[in-house]
């Protein structure tokens, strides 16, 4: 069984812990007392291949130095870049995390998935979704556009309603498998059945019912 070390990063209050606990323990935590870091383990089948996931939740580290961030960035095999679709500032922070990860890893590309959390709060959305301008010009969702720019999948999630939570983590494992396959092209077992090119942004929108 393959083992993967996943790291969940993003600004404060975006729902990193809620996503991680919903994924690993199947329940939603509304109020969570963040620690410096916390890790969770889950065994699951992804594309008919068993995987053991060690998920590091970095809640509580948002205000720590860049050097402390680098400690977990060095060991992570893949990263969920999480922002809240109700917070533009959290979306703008993602670029900092993205570039720091690449610098620490000393690579031009590394396994990541861009996650827009809190899609159940559609009425509070600050990050645009795809649509049509008043001039009749179609425009792309900001999150999807950024994911396409950096070459990673994009998923809108709701930790509260458990929408696309498994999909986000599973997509990250597929990214890691594809990345490992690129490093070891002779080993086809490292490639997930649904892996994709780093130049393709795969978008999974949120289909939430706003109550």
pLDDT at 71: 86
31: CB partners within 8 A, 6+ apart:
none
pLDDT at 62: 60
Q: Which of 140, 169, 168, 141 is nearest to 155 (CA)?
A: 168
To the nearest whole number, what is the mean pLDDT of the chain? 84
35 belongs to a structural domain? yes
Q: What is the pLDDT of residues 27-74, one digit of tens each?
A: 998 776 655 458 899 999 999 999 999 999 987 666 666 777 888 899
8 belongs to a structural domain? yes
What pTM did the predictor assign? 0.85
> CATH number, domain at 61?
3.40.50.300
The dihedral region occupied by 78, where left means phi > 0, alpha psi between -120 and 50, and beta the remainder, is beta
pLDDT at 130: 58
83 belongs to a structural domain? yes
Are the C-beta atoms of residues 40 and 24 closer than 8 Å to each other? yes
Number of domains in the chain: 1
pLDDT at 38: 83
194 belongs to a structural domain? yes
145 belongs to a structural domain? yes
Torsion angle of C-alpha atoms 114, 119, 121, 127, degrees rounded to 10: 40
38 belongs to a structural domain? yes
pLDDT at 211: 30
63 belongs to a structural domain? yes
What are the φ and ψ backbone dihedral angles of 52, each rounded to 5 degrees? -110, 115
CA distances to 28, 117, 135 from 78, in Å: 23, 18, 40
Below-50 pLDDT ranges, the chain: 36, 132-133, 137-139, 191-200, 207-211
Residue 115: domain span: 2-204
Q: How far apart, in whole angstroms, are the C-alpha atoms of residue 124 and residue 196?
A: 32
98 belongs to a structural domain? yes
């Amino acid at each position: 069984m393959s083992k993967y070390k996943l790291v969940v990063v993003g600004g404060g209050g975006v729902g990193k812990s809620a996503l991680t606990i919903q994924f690993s323990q199947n329940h939603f935590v509304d109020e969570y007392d963040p620690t410096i870091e916390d890790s969770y383990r889950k065994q699951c089948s992804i594309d008919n291949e068993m995987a053991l996931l060690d998920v590091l939740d970095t809640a509580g580290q948002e205000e720590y130095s860049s050097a402390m961030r680098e400690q977990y960035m060095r060991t992570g095999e893949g990263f969920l870049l999480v922002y809240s679709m109700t917070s533009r500032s959290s979306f703008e922070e993602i670029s900092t995390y993205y570039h720091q990860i690449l610098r620490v890893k000393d690579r031009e590309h590394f396994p990541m998935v861009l996650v827009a959390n809190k899609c159940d709060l559609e009425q509070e959305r600050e990050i645009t979704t795809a649509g049509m301008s008043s001039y009749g010009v179609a425009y792309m969702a900001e999150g999807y556009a950024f994911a396409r720019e950096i070459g990673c999948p994009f998923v809108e999630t709701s930790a509260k309603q458990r929408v696309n939570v498994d999909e986000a983590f599973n997509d990250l494992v597929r990214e890691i498998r594809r990345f490992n396959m690129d490093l070891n092209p002779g080993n086809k077992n490292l490639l997930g059945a649904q892996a994709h090119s780093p130049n393709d942004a795969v978008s999974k929108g949120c289909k939430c019912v706003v109550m």
